Copies of this chain bind each other. A is one copy, B any other.
């Protein structure tokens, strides 16, 4: 079976696992006061070229919801893409952790918000008007839900709108490293250097088992965050589990290597898909996600070959891109563990070569 439905279907990568094993021995202080966590924080400060206030948790949903809670009062509004993870895929966690803030979807093609679209939504919620929730934060998914990556200029423009209206900014970096490599920039350049206030630095999808860092660059925003994390039940007692994963993830540029591989596999897959008759890619392939529309027959061939992709739907495909009743919309996600042979098998199956061969 080949499973490319998501990058969360694989386990941890070897160096992460080995660091975890190494960290397992002996006594360590609990609740994130251990040396592994301290080391992870120090390494993140190097990665971001900035002092960081680092809070690690085991889930991306927890990380995003907690991060947003630090940026908005309960009567605030958080703006994000209409199909973003915090809007559609977290079962209301942002509403829960913010104690009821309004999560406002901003429509936009290719998974991206534009400054004008954000402005249009901001107009609905007037500052100082008591009947209206108060604009508080902008959350940007990088990589987006469409697998695309905002350019630094695109983020700069969004942040400019946010700052103009007094909003704090959050970067949902569940696939942070894939985006960073796609842009060829540094972690600093993609975050605080262009005005991002808090980052969800995802590691689970790119080599860890369960580790996401919520990273603040400003001590004031991080004040009291430890209480938020604890009352959310997101402070692990054996904190070394998180610290060690992050250390193993960052050491020797392992995180970079993992994401580089995943991105390359996605390009190989995309190139192959473009050769398949009837296959159409709605969006650019910027990182490690490949979305494609194929004939239902091709989908059937995948099923029969036990190749798994995720069925998809979206309202942010380009104008005019429609999906026929005899077509299937699929998402493939590559990871550090994806093998070239798996990509080949996908392409062979879709092109009809493989079934014939077998």
Once the chains bind, are B230 and A232 in contact (CB under 8 Å)? no
A290 to B123, CA, bound (A): 23
**Could you tell me which residues of chain A, from 94 to 113, have a CB within 8 Å of some CB in chain B?**
95-103
A156 within 8 Å of B (CB atoms): no
A17 to chain B: which residues have CB within 8 Å?
A: 21, 24
How many protomers of this protein does the assembly include? Answer: 4
Residue among A6, A89, A233 facing the most chain B CB atoms (10 A cut-off)? A233
Interface residues of A in 265-322 (CB under 8 A from B): 313
Verify B130–A226 contact, CB threshold 8 A. yes
Query: In whole angstroms, how far apart are the Cα atoms of A234 and B21 in the complex?
Result: 24
Are B227 and A210 closer than 8 Å at their CB atoms? no
* Chain B residues in 8 Å Cβ range of A95: 74, 95, 100-102, 231
Cβ A99 vs Cβ B102 within 8 A: no
> What are the interface flags for A20-31 relative to B under an 8 Å C-beta threshold, 1 for contact and 0 otherwise?
010111111111
Are B96 and A204 interface neighbours, CB within 8 A? no
List which A208-248 residues lie within 8 A (CB) of chain B: 209-210, 224, 226-228, 230-238, 240-241
Cβ < 8 Å to B, chain A residues 46-71? 57-63, 65-66
Q: Are A9 and B25 in contact (CB under 8 A)?
A: no
Chain B min CB distance to A110 (Å) = 18
Contact B12 A224 (CB under 8 A): no
Residues of B within 8 A of A89 (CB): 131-132
Offer 14 A-B interface pairs, CB within 8 angstroms, sorted by A.
A1-B27, A8-B237, A8-B238, A10-B26, A11-B23, A74-B231, A75-B91, A75-B224, A92-B101, A93-B230, A96-B99, A100-B231, A210-B210, A232-B233
Which residues of A approach B to under 8 Å, CB–CB?
A: 1-3, 6, 8-12, 17, 21, 23-31, 57-63, 65-66, 73-75, 88-93, 95-103, 123-125, 130-134, 204-205, 209-210, 224, 226-228, 230-238, 240-241, 313
